Amino acid sequence: MTVASILKQKPDRLISVSESASLADVAAVLTRENIGAVPVLAANGEMIGIISERDIVRQIAREGSGVLSRTVSSMMTKSVVCCAPEDSVASTMALMTERRFRHLPVRSNGRIVGMISIGDVVKRRVEDAEREAESLRDYIVRG
Ligand code: AMP
């Protein structure tokens, strides 16, 4: 199973924020869209970072709620790790576990075509395991 099969089941729109958005803006987007992270795009559409709810919580814990008016570009993670549509779901799970983040932008031909989360990956792996168990059951019953 590939990342492309996960993207097929998700709405075909990329939620992102611009580099000039404030942390309060990002918190509002994460809440409204019920997601945990967003890619940060420059004016030319290029992805220049990623910011997750964890970054916002950490920053507030360190410096207080005043940071909410600061721009996202001062707080995002700039070296973003991406995956590709043809990557296996198992490899993205291993990558997220090893690097300790829960979100991966999906890049194809230099363009971000979607985002997957650890939740999407775990859901897909459970569905695959259930399907495999079902076929084994059928095979045993039918002989
Ligand atoms: P998360 O577990 O996704 O909430 O993110 C934990 C930390 O990793 C935060 O500092 C994020 O900005 C960062 N992060 C999340 N996803 C990625 C990614 N794909 N590449 C690089 N850093 C990331």
Q: Which of 33-37, 81-85, 131-135 is least confident?
A: 131-135
> Which ligand 1 atom sits nearest the alpha carbon of residue 104?
19
CA–CA separation, 26 and 4 (whole Å): 27
The DSSP letter of residue 112 is: E
Give pLDDT, residue 128. 87
**pLDDT per position as a tens digit, 5-37:** 999 999 989 999 999 999 999 999 999 999 999
Where residue 98 falls among pLDDT bands split at 50, 70, 90?
very high
Tokens matching residue 1: 């199973």
> Which ligand 1 atom sits nearest the alpha carbon of residue 53?
4
What pTM does this model have?
A: 0.91
Give pLDDT, residue 142. 83
Tell me the best of 38, 48, 50, 115 to mutate to test the pocket of ligand 1, counting ligand atoms within 8 Å of each CB and taking the most: 50
Ligand 1 midpoint to CA 72 (Å): 14
> Which ligand 1 atom sits nearest the alpha carbon of residue 51?
12
Helix (H, G, I), strand (E, B) or coil at 103: strand
